C-alpha cells in the first residue's frame, strides 16, 4: 500500500473498523473510503457491487460484522448467521469481480472447537464441535475465511484472513445485554461505583480463561499483515497471554475504583472453558502486541469517561 492507495474500511464505525481508520491515518494514509451502514447496506449484493464499480478501491479491510457477547449470539442466532454470511459473501465476491489489489477478512477466535487443544494453532480449525452458544456466528466466520482461501486458490487473488482474539478498547459497545465481557464488566463496575452498590454480579464461575487484545494493537497488526503477508493460510492475532474472568473482573474493579464486593452467578453459562491463541505464526513474521491488559483497560476506561454521553449502551 502506498499512501495514496484507495482503501475501503468496511465497518469503520465499529470497534475494529474505527481502530483501523485511526491507525491508517496515523501512518499517513489519506485516501480512505468510509460508508456507514445507512449509506451502504453490505447485506445487499447489488448495492455492494455498485459501490465497487463506482469507487474502485485498491484495498479492503473487511471489518464489518454483526457482533455481540454470549447472550446476543445465543438469542439472535439466525440473524448472526444470515447477516454475516451476506456481508462477507457480497464484499469478497465484489472485490474479486472488480479486481482490487488485496483484501483482508476479519474472523474471530470462536471459529475453533469448544474443546480445542491450547494454545489454539491455525491448523486446529474444523477438528471438533463448536461452542453451541455462538455456533451460528462461528460458522459464518469460517465461511468467510474459506471464501478468501478458495478465491485465492481458484482465482489467484490476494485475499488474506486474520483471526483476532477477544477485543476491547476505544469505541467499544458497553450495552449490558449485547456486549462482550470486558466492556460489560467495565460498565457494571462504573455504575456500581456511581450508585454506591454493595455488590457487582459477574456471570458464571469466574474460572474460564480468556485472552484480550487492545483493539489499536489489532489494527496495527492488520495494517502490518496488509503490507507484509500474502499467503492463503489465515493468521491468528493475539497477545499469547491469558487471564481468568475472575482476574479480569478484579483488574477492572481496581481501574474503575469500585470498592464493593464481586459475586459470581454460577447459574449463568461460562462459555468455552479456555481460549488462547497460538500467535507464533504472526510473531515469526515480526509483529507482537505492545499494550498490557491493565494499560489497555485504563485507556478504555478513560475514553469511556470522556464519551459517556455518546457511548453505545
CB 188 within 8 A of CB 200: yes
The number of helices, as runs of H, and strands, as runs of E, in the chain is: 10, 13
SS3 71: helix
Catalytic residue among 137, 214, 229, 258: 137
Give Cβ neighbours of residue 224 (< 8 Å, ≥ 6 apart): 285, 286, 287
- Name the grid cell of 152: 485465492
Query: C-alpha grid cell for residue 182?
Result: 470486558
What the block records as the C-alpha cell of 204 is: 458464571
Q: Which residue has the cell 470486558?
A: 182
Per-position DSSP letters for 159-185, written without gaps between them: EEEEEE-EEE-TT-B--TTTS-HHHHH
Contact 48, 42 (CB under 8 A): yes
Catalytic annotation present for 137: yes
Which is it for strands 199-203 and 212-214: parallel, antiparallel or unpaired? unpaired
Q: Using CA atoms, how far apart are residues 118 and 277, in angstroms rounded to an integer?
A: 7
CA distance 120 to 209: 13
Q: Which residues are marked as active site? A: 137
Amino acid at each position: 500500500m502506498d499512501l495514496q492507495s484507495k482503501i475501503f474500511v468496511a465497518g469503520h464505525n465499529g470497534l475494529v473498523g474505527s481502530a483501523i481508520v485511526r491507525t491508517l491515518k496515523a501512518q499517513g494514509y489519506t485516501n480512505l473510503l468510509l460508508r456507514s451502514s445507512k449509506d451502504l447496506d453490505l447485506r445487499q449484493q447489488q448495492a455492494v457491487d455498485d459501490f465497487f464499480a463506482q469507487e474502485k478501491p485498491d484495498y479492503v479491510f473487511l471489518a464489518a460484522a454483526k457482533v455481540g457477547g454470549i447472550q446476543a449470539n445465543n438469542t439472535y442466532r439466525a440473524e448472526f448467521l444470515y447477516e454475516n454470511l451476506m456481508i462477507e459473501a457480497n464484499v469478497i465476491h465484489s472485490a474479486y469481480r472488480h479486481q482490487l489489489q488485496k483484501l483482508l477478512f476479519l474472523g474471530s477466535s470462536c471459529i475453533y472447537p469448544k474443546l480445542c487443544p491450547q494454545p489454539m494453532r491455525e491448523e486446529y480449525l474444523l477438528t471438533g464441535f463448536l461452542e453451541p452458544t455462538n455456533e451460528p456466528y462461528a460458522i459464518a466466520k469460517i465461511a468467510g475465511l474459506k471464501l478468501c482461501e478458495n478465491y485465492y486458490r481458484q482465482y489467484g487473488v490476494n485475499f488474506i484472513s486474520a483471526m483476532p482474539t477477544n477485543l476491547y478498547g476505544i469505541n467499544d459497545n458497553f450495552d449490558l445485554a449485547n456486549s462482550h465481557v470486558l466492556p460489560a464488566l467495565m460498565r457494571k463496575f462504573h455504575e456500581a461505583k456511581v450508585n454506591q452498590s454493595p455488590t457487582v454480579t459477574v456471570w458464571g464461575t469466574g474460572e474460564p480463561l480468556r485472552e484480550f487484545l487492545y483493539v489499536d494493537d489489532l489494527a496495527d497488526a492488520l495494517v502490518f499483515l496488509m503490507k507484509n503477508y500474502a499467503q492463503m493460510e489465515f493468521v491468528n492475532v493475539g497477545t499469547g497471554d491469558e487471564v481468568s474472568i475472575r482476574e479480569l473482573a478484579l483488574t477492572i474493579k481496581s481501574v474503575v475504583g469500585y470498592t464493593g464486593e464481586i459475586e459470581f452467578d454460577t447459574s449463568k453459562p461460562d462459555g468455552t472453558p479456555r481460549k488462547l491463541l497460538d500467535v507464533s505464526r504472526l510473531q515469526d513474521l515480526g509483529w507482537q502486541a505492545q499494550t498490557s491488559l491493565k494499560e489497555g483497560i485504563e485507556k478504555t476506561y478513560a475514553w469511556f469517561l470522556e464519551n459517556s454521553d455518546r457511548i453505545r449502551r
